[in-house]
Amino acid sequence: MKKHFIASLIFLSANSLNAQNRIVDKYGQLSVKGNYIKSQYGDTVQLRGMSLFWSQWMGQYYNEDAIKWLQDDWKCTIIRAAMGVEMGGYLTNPETEKKKIIQVVDAAIALGMYVIIDYHSHEAHINPDEARKFFGEMALKYGKSPNVLYELFNEPLKDVSWEKDIKPYEELVIKEIRKYDPDNIIICGTRQWSQLVNEAASNPIKDPNVVYTLHYYAATHKQWLRDEAKAAMDKGVALFVSEFGTCDASGNGSLDLEESKLWFRFLDKYKISWCNWSVADKEEAASILTPGASGEGGWTNSQLTESGKFIKKEMVEKNSVVLKKTSAK
């Protein structure tokens, strides 16, 4: 009898621990209200998580073990699956790259995490039919899952037009997604590597559950970009930092942790969700892992880069508070 009692306690304890990490159980279906992402219960939502690296070059981290480690050890509440499109990515090997995305999305759903399906391209508008086909398939497959967000255009370049190039492309893809998924949030890239959000806010996409992508690298993008973000929000739109780094815009160079802290204060003030770039062991400043770190998680502190340690600390401290409230709910 005592053995059965102890076994029951272990089972309940494990389930309780698991429940603490299941952010989707807390927030459910997300929607956009003014400047904010809201849960289906009315909470204002701020998600903090990681972005995977270009899928064609760091596919070893596109698996459930790595995602679970990020959830359990890093307290990630969202993961961004960055499907490379050009340069040997989806346009060249569609089934191979799509399979990696499906593995990550299925893992996130099983773990109760939110997940971004990111079309990781700088020139997605050049091949709109390929994007429309891909997102139509993803929406048909995952449209009933509240875990999923769609990111249509990672970083449009500087010398394209929001009005003539980016917005029409995104409207076309949104129309395809909405055939199968009427309500999951769609993240729309903005001009100049997803920085000029105020331009998009001046001529917004007419969909109630759209947010605009703001990307920054702390050593390069400083107060002027926070001012750009505030100007966009003053026009009533919601923002999502689906990618940022603690270093300069090249993904390398010295870290600027003081500027990173200013950004975190800004994001927390306005409840803007974020994903850090990136889960990679590439030898560059933006990577969170040192070369050779396992593809299945289990990373020790010595396998984390300076940026990795900094980001993990921020995420664990702040997400643990949210997840604790999740457990108590």
Residues forming the active site: 155, 243
Q: Are 32 and 210 in contact (CB under 8 A)?
A: yes
Burial class from Cβ neighbours inside 10 Å (0-12, 13-18, 19+) for residue 253 reads middle
Ranges assigned E (strand) in the chain: 31-33, 36-38, 44-45, 48-52, 78-84, 114-120, 148-151, 186-188, 210-217, 239-245, 274-279
| Beta strands 31-33; 36-38: pairing state | antiparallel
Structure tokens at 242: 């689906």
Are the CB atoms for 30 and 300 separated by under 8 Å? Answer: no
Q: Would residue 118 be called left, alpha or beta, if left means φ above 0 and alpha means ψ between -120 and 50 degrees?
A: beta
Backbone angles phi, psi at 280, to 5 degrees: -155, 155
Residue 229 tokens read as 């973000």
- First CA to last CA distance, the chain: 31
Q: What is the CA radius of gyration of the chain?
A: 19
CA atoms within 13 A on the CB side of 143: 16
Closest residue by Cα to residue 211 from 180, 189, 191, 230: 189
- C-alpha 283/C-alpha 260 separation (Å) is 20
What does the alpha-carbon distance between residue 137 and residue 263 come to, in Å, rounded to a whole number?
36
Paired with 276 in beta bridges are 50, 244
